[in-house]
């Protein structure tokens, strides 16, 4: 089959339309948006998260002393 410039342009256009209509990439965009929101929440509530984690580890440290004797 001889490819002419017109045939190549039509094939290119068909590929572009298929790519544009393809929704497989939507999952990637959604995951990226979720990650961005989570990072934003961590930045906003950084001090509260740090205090909570320190409290939890402090309690674990205190209770581990009771278990080990």
42 Cβ partners below 8 Å, 6+ apart? 49
Does this model's pTM top 0.75? no
The pLDDT tens digits for 7-66 are 878 888 888 888 777 766 667 778 889 999 999 999 999 999 999 999 999 999 888 877
Q: How many CA atoms lie within 13 A of 34 on its CB side?
A: 6
Domain count, the chain: 1
Rounded Cα distance, 10 and 4, in Å: 10
DSSP 11: H
Rounded Cα distance, 42 and 60, in Å: 23
> For residue 23, what are the domain limits?
5-68
């Amino acid at each position: 089959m001889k490819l002419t410039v017109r045939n190549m342009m039509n094939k290119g256009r068909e590929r572009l339309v298929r790519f544009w209509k393809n929704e497989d990439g939507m999952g990637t965009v959604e995951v990226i948006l979720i990650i961005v929101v989570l990072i934003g929440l961590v930045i906003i509530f950084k001090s509260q998260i740090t205090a909570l984690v320190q409290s939890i580890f402090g309690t674990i440290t205190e209770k581990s002393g009771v278990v080990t004797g």
